[in-house]
Chain A
Amino acid sequence: MSGRRQQALWLLIFAGIGVAAYLVYVALDASAEPYCSGVGDCHKVQSSEYAEVAGIPLAVFGLLMYGGLLALRIATTWGPLRSLPILRAWITVLAGSGVLYSVYLTYLELEVIHAICIYCVTSAGIVTLIAIVSWPDFTAARRALAAARSA
């Protein structure tokens, strides 16, 4: 549990919340055009039919995921449940599912929509880093649980 790695996790989660919150804002406010800074075509991606599932903008799912990560991060740092190994494992599991879905969404952007949304790609990068950075916690949690089971 290097302190630097734990700090990086905090930072990444807050960065992810920032990006996802911006995407939610753009998705919900029809008059807001994503500020694209010349890279990619956020508008095309955000206005595509793939930008929502069951009427809910995907950005909302992203924000919920980062919110979940933050909640787990808080729970594993303070409070009565902080030493529960499963909560640490869940951070990686949640981030890992984010990575999987981001891979699929990036595939959609490249192959189906033919446009790249820089914020979506940034979010994909952040969640991938979270999964990588939290991996040692996952391994440790898995070992602790395994030891508890065979003890």
Chain B
Amino acid sequence: MSQRRPTKPKPARPLKPGWRYTIDQWGGLPVLGSVVVALLVVGTLIFLNRPGAKSDPVVSTALEGRVVGRLHGEASAPVTIVEYADFQCPFCKKWVTETAPALAKEFIATGQVQLEYRYFAFLGEESKKAAEAAECAADQGRFWEMHDVLYSHQAAENSGVYTPANLKKYAAEVASKANGFDTGKFATCLDGGSKRALVDQMAAQAAQLGVSSTPSFLVNGKPIVGAQPIEVFRTAIAAAKAAKP
């Protein structure tokens, strides 16, 4: 600054304090401009990543990301069946014990159907907790093992069967059948409650689709309601295959 020649009649810029002076002191627009650009970029990234910003896409990304653990069958299967169920619902258990084995043998094992399980936990707190437990098991690739154990313990609704303490016992059952299942990790996951959001989102999404009872199924998008016998599914699967171009 001291290099200013005294012969110069006027300084190029006012040197008394003022916004222009302050800007110059900070190195002028190149510096301040880059600071502003940096702040804008950071602000945009925060805005795009704010909690709740992805509430709609979350449903789909959460489903897509997590769904792997709740799939049964080959992705190339021409027919997809989405099952909406509640671990506390007696008819869901009835379907699992009476129809699911035949479906697995005839259609899933033969690569014709891929089954996807979705939580529609609407029968109270224990339904949600059981679904969270299944999802925590899914994190370790043991959804179906937990699914079977959960249904095997089903009793009267909200009678204390699916309390966190019991769910951890069921996890031990899963561990006894499945090598490498980490019950400590499972307990941390369950107690952390991080799966509640996904369970609630799935219920909300199912309700939006018009699911009002369990079990409900979508066979390539076409609904089947209730614990229907295998014949009903045979017909629906045949129709779904015929409808495919």
Q: Is B46 a contact partner of A150 (Cβ separation < 8 A)?
A: no
Task: Determine if A24 is an interface residue (Cβ-Cβ < 8 Å).
Answer: no
Closest CB-CB distance, A34 to chain B, in whole Å?
14
A109–chain B nearest beta-carbon distance, Å? 12
Q: Of B26, B65, B194, which one neighbours A146 at CB under 8 angstroms?
A: B26
**What are the residues of chain B within 8 A of A142 when measuring CB–CB?**
25-27, 31
Q: What's the Cα separation between A114 and B197 when bound, in Å? A: 13
Interface centre among A112, A113, A145 (most CB of B within 10 A): A145
Q: Is the CB of B194 within 8 A of A114?
A: yes
Q: Which residues, 109 to 151 on A, are CB-close (under 8 Å) to B? A: 112-115, 141-147, 149-151
Interface residues on B, range: 20 to 34
Is A54 interfacial (CB-CB < 8 Å)? Answer: yes
Q: Is there contact, CB below 8 Å, between A146 and B41? A: no
Provide a sorted-by-A list of 5 A–B residue pairs whose CB atoms are within 8 angstroms: A49-B58, A85-B27, A104-B49, A114-B194, A150-B12
What is the interface of chain B, defined by CB distance below 8 A to chain A? 1, 3-4, 11-13, 15, 24-28, 30-31, 34-35, 38-39, 41-42, 45-46, 48-49, 51, 54, 58, 61-62, 65, 192, 194
* Chain A: interface size category: 20 to 34
A97: interface (CB < 8 Å): yes
| Min distance, Cβ A96 to any Cβ of chain B, angstroms | 7
A44 within 8 A of partner (CB): yes
Please report whether the interface of chain A is mostly helix, strand, loop or mixed according to DSSP: helix
Instruction: Contacts A85-B27, A142-B27 given; indicate if A150 touches B62 (C-beta within 8 A).
Output: no
**Contacting pair A49 B39 (CB below 8 A):** no
Given known A49-B54, A53-B45, contact A149–B24 (CB-CB < 8 A): yes
- Chain A 46-65, CB-CB to B under 8 Å as 1, else 0, gives 01011001100010010000
Does the CB pair A150–B15 fall under 8 Å?
Answer: yes
> Known: A47-B65, A49-B54, A50-B49. Is A145-B28 also a contact (CB below 8 A)?
yes
Residue-wise interface mask of A (81-118) relative to B, using a CB-CB cutoff of 8 A (1 in contact, 0 not) = 00001100110011011001100100010001111000
4 A-B pairs besides A54-B48, A104-B46, A149-B27 with CB distance below 8 A are A89-B27, A142-B26, A146-B26, A149-B13
A150 to B13, CA, bound (A): 7
5 smallest beta-carbon distances between A and B, as pairs: A145-B27, A97-B38, A142-B27, A149-B24, A97-B42
A97 to B11, CA, bound (A): 35
Q: Which residue of the partner chain A has the closest CB to B189? A: A44
| Least CB distance, A112 to chain B, in whole angstroms | 5
Give the nearest-CB partner of A44 in chain B: B194
Give the chain A neighbours of B42 by CB distance below 8 A: 97, 100-101, 104
B11 CB, min distance to chain A CBs, angstroms: 7
CB distance from B54 to the nearest CB of A (A): 6
Q: With A86-B30, A96-B38, A142-B31 given, is the CB distance from A150 to B49 under 8 Å?
A: no
By the criterion CB–CB under 8 Å, are B192 and A146 in contact? Answer: no
Cross-interface CB contact of A89 among B34, B62, B194, cutoff 8 Å:
B34
Complex Cα–Cα for A52 and B194 (A)? 18
